[in-house]
């Protein structure tokens, strides 16, 4: 195919979900429920097929990167804002992830949302979300990236609060929107700083400037002089912290579980939350210029990987357990970018999209079978009722816990290896956190498995059963890559030709990490053999065994541990008090300030003294002047005489 044809196909892939979602939303009265899901599924299927076609060129055939400007949007002097397409292997991989998972979630939603009144609206929102994500992925400049970035945020708000009649859903959507605005503000400042430094918002210009020594500095309050590139990268990372739910901007993601389960799989497993990781990887030539930003990213990512994973151990809602596992796995990806292991981060992004979407959809199958019960304490023994769901949940859990040869093992083990190899400040701390996180991940994933599917079944009016085929088919499809995609893509991500085609940074540090990972992964079996004697695998095994024993044979152990470590247990239940701190600092203080301004400033000063004060003054002056209106002519004559005397006196004094 010619380059022009490839660009045309990329545009069609991006616009197809937009048209399908728009028509499904506007014409839902005429299309009906069946027409709405057929149209949107057709649109996403078309995008997925195009992504597969592009993959054959940019991944299999190593086609050169295409950076094409489609048209100039606004020109202000020498500054040009444009719309364009950036196509390379990294772009195509993200397109495959977004469209592939979106397609399966669309099919799954046919069964899960079958009885919902907002059926057509739901499919319209999902299709529009896919369009926004593809806009972000295909952008070749910061402006277009920001449009897709904000589009994802807006549509995610609509999806999370889809059941707006539920106060918890409305609150979850609002919280996600507000917290993301905090990160987006830093992201916007970073884009502005890039524009000031480079004079352009095009990626190509940014990468060209990043390849040259940058000496400019800025002066910030409390920080003094700081390199411009450090400031830019830190501000851009703030945006990634919001979208990818990193500490301390992670609080929105657990609350977003109030939305329908298909949305949890689409937004919070495979697409929206990985936007930050993709952005950092896409702009890796820029981030490689700032060792400060890399260290911060590695420490923050590792902190979330361990400490947010610990919170998942004490959760009872099956969807919240999977949500906190998402937070933990996103921490692994961010830590990998901080260690300059961008290929490992994207590799884990791909494998995580498969097994985490599988876990969310399997959890949704359980929720449907349990008549929308989500508390695992009210479940148990579902293995014999839901055998297909059980097997898919088991596959997802094994992959999440990174047991070989499942998909999660290859990507997660590579991240831990890369962080151990890093020499940046904070790498030692990050390595310890990620290694211990292996035990935590296995513990909470198998805890959910044993509590839900093993043990004694609760007393129910009717026995649960497997859902319809529209729900089961996506589970079976996702279970396949959750097993095999790891060892099939190792060479693509860690061999030098494959890495170069990804369009990632080729700095000395990044290539050093790549060469180290390549030396450890020269074959799949050697990688497995190497891992079997190392701490991550040993800790994962111990975590799974402890969960099996504690939640299958000795249920008193978790209660005993909670009593003995009551203080730590309460800290985990309270999620380290971060939510309460935000509630106290921002919500309560703002409400108190608003109450004070309402009562003191608005009512006392503005209403009573200004608005009512002016009215009272006019009324009093009117009452005073009314006293002069007696109706007697001689009074009015006297007033005229007094006025004449005053005027004459003023004139005489002025002349004198």
Residues 591 and 544 in one domain: no
Band the pLDDT of 225: cuts 50, 70, 90: low
Identify the domain containing residue 588 by its residue range: 581-655
Average confidence score pLDDT of the chain? 88
Region of poorest pLDDT, from 277-281, 418-422, 613-617, 648-652:
613-617
Whether the per-residue pLDDT at 15 is higher than 90: the answer is: yes
List pLDDT tens digits, range 230-253: 899 999 999 999 999 899 999 998
* Nearest one of 119, 94, 126 to 265, comparing CA atoms: 126
- For 289-330, how does the pLDDT look when each residue is reduced to its tens digit (9 = 90+)? 889 999 999 999 999 999 999 999 999 999 999 999 999 999
How much is the pLDDT for 221?
56
pLDDT the model gives residue 223 = 55
List phi, psi (to 5°) of 219.
-110, 125
Residue 574 lies in a domain: no
Question: Are 238 and 190 in contact, with CB atoms under 8 Å apart?
Answer: yes
Identify whether residues 316 and 426 lie together within a single domain.
yes
Are 385 and 523 in the same domain?
A: yes
- Percent of the chain whose predicted confidence (pLDDT) is above 70: 97
Q: What is the pLDDT of residue 648?
A: 87
Co-location of 200 and 142 in the same domain? yes
β-bridge partners, 202? 141
Q: Are 388 and 466 in contact (CB under 8 A)?
A: yes
pLDDT digits (tens, 9 = 90+) for 573-588: 999 999 899 988 888 8
Q: Both 141 and 249 in a single domain?
A: yes
Dihedral of the CA atoms 635, 640, 642, 648 (nearest 10)?
A: -170
Residue 560 counted as domain residue: no
Supply the DSSP string of 504-544, one letter for each residue.
----HHHHHHHHHHHHH-SSHHHHHHHHTTSHHHHHHHHHH
For the segment 363-382, the average pLDDT, to the nearest whole number, is 88
Q: With respect to residue 570, please indicate whether it lies within any of the assigned structural domains.
A: no
Same domain as 270, residue 211: yes
Tokens representing 264?
Answer: 């949890």
User: What distance in Å separates the CA atoms of residue 357 and residue 368, rounded to the nearest whole number?
Assistant: 16
338, 294 Cβ separation under 8 angstroms: yes
Q: Which of 54-68, 253-267, 302-316 has the highest mean pLDDT?
A: 302-316
pTM for the predicted model, two decimal places: 0.90
Q: Closest by alpha carbon to 283, among 397, 193, 403?
A: 193
Confidence of residue 631 (pLDDT cuts 50, 70, 90): confident
Q: Which of 234, 134, 225 is nearest to 194 (CA)?
A: 234
Higher pLDDT, 523 or 404: 404
**484 shares its domain with 630:** no
In a domain, 94, yes or no: yes
Is 279 within a domain?
yes
Q: What is the pLDDT of residue 477?
A: 94
Residue 455 included in any domain: yes
381 and 243 both lie in a single domain: yes
Contact 65, 317 (CB under 8 A): no
Domain stop point among 553, 573, 597: 553
**Contacts for 143 with CB less than 8 Å, ≥ 6 apart:** 73, 81, 82, 191, 201
The total number of structural domains that make up the chain: 2
pLDDT-wise least confident of 114-118, 209-213, 220-224, 313-317: 220-224
Cβ pair 102, 266 in contact under 8 A? yes
Residues 53 and 133 occupy one common structural domain: yes
Q: Looking at the structure, tell me whether residues 397 and 448 fall in a common domain.
A: yes
pLDDT band at 224 (very low <50, low <70, confident <90, very high): low
> Looking at the structure, do residues 251 and 108 belong to the same domain, yes or no?
yes
Domain presence at residue 558: no
Q: Specify whether 440 is located in the same domain as 585.
A: no
Residue 637, judged by CB atoms within 10 A of its CB (0-12, 13-18, 19+), counts as exposed
Per DSSP, 656 falls in state -
First vs last Cα of the chain: how many Å apart? 100
Instruction: Measure the CA–CA gap between 506 and 493, rounded to whole angstroms.
Output: 14
Residue 623 lies in a domain: yes
φ, ψ for residue 317, nearest 5 deg: -75, 125
Q: Which two tokens stand for residue 410?
A: 């290859």
CA–chain centroid gap for 280, Å, is 13
């Amino acid at each position: 195919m010619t380059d022009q044809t490839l660009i045309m196909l990329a545009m069609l892939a991006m616009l197809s979900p937009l048209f399908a979602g728009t028509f499904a939303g506007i014409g839902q009265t005429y299309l009906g429920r069946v027409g709405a899901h057929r149209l949107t599924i057709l649109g996403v299927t078309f995008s997925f097929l195009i992504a597969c076609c592009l993959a054959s060129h940019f991944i299999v055939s190593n086609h050169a990167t295409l950076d094409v400007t489609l048209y100039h949007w606004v020109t202000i002097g020498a500054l040009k804002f444009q719309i364009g397409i950036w196509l390379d292997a990294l772009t195509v991989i993200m397109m495959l992830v977004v469209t592939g998972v979106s397609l399966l979630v669309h099919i799954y939603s046919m069964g899960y949302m079958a009885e919902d009144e907002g059926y057509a609206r739901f499919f319209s929102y999902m299709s529009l979300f896919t369009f926004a994500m593809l806009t972000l992925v295909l952008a070749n400049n910061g402006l277009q990236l920001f449009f897709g970035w904000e589009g994802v945020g807006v549509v995610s708000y609509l999806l999370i609060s889809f059941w707006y009649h539920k106060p918890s859903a409305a609150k979850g959507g609002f919280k996600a929107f507000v917290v993301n605005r905090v990160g987006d503000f830093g992201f916007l400042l970073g884009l502005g700083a890039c524009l000031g430094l480079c004079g352009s918002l095009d990626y190509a210009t940014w990468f060209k400037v990043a390849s040259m020594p940058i000496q400019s500095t800025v002066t910030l309050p409390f920080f003094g002089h700081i390199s411009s590139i450090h400031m830019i990268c830190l501000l851009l990372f703030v945006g990634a912290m919001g979208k990818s739910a990193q500490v301390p901007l992670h609080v929105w993601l657990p609350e977003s579980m109030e939305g329908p389960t298909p949305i949890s799989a689409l937004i919070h497993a495979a697409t929206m939350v990985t936007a930050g990781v993709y952005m950092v990887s896409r702009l890796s030539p820029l981030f490689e210029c700032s060792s400060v930003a890399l260290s911060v990213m590695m420490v923050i990512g590792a902190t979330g990987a361990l400490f947010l994973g610990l919170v998942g151990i004490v959760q009872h809602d099956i969807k919240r357990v999977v949500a906190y596992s998402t937070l933990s796995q996103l921490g692994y990806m961010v830590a990998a970018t901080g260690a300059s292991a961008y290929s490992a981060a994207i590799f884990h992004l791909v494998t995580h999209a498969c097994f985490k979407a599988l876990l969310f959809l399997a959890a949704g199958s359980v929720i449907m079978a349990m008549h929308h019960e989500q508390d695992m304490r009210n479940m148990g023994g579902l293995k014999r009722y839901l055998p297909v769901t059980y097997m898919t949940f088991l596959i997802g859990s094994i992959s999440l816990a990174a047991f070989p040869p499942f998909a999660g093992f290859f990507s997660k083990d590579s991240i831990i290896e890369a962080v151990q190899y890093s020499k940046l400040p904070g790498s030692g701390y990050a390595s310890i956190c990620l290694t211990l996180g292996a035990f935590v991940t296995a513990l909470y994933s198998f805890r959910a498995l044993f509590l839900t599917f093993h043990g004694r079944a609760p007393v129910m009016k009717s026995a649960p059963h497997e859902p319809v085929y529209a729900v089961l088919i996506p589970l079976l499809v996702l279970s396949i890559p959750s097993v095999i995609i790891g060892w099939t893509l190792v060479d693509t991500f860690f061999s030098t030709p494959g890495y170069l085609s990804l369009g990632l940074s080729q700095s000395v540090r990044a290539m050093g990490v790549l060469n180290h990972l390549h030396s450890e992964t020269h074959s799949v079996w050697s990688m497995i053999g190497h891992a079997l004697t190392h701490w991550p695998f040993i800790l994962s095994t111990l975590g799974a065994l402890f969960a099996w024993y504690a939640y299958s044979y000795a249920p008193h152990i978790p209660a005993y541990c909670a009593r003995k470590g009551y203080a730590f247990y309460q800290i985990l239940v309270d999620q380290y008090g971060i939510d309460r701190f935000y509630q106290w600092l921002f919500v309560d203080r703002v409400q108190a300030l608003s109450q004070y301004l309402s009562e003191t400033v608005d009512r006392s000063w503005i209403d009573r003294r200004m608005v009512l004060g002016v009215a009272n003054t006019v009324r009093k002056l009117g009452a005073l002047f009314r006293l002069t209106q007696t109706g007697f002519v001689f009074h009015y004559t006297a007033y005229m005489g007094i006025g004449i005397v005053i005027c004459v006196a003023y004139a005489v004094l002025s002349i004198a």
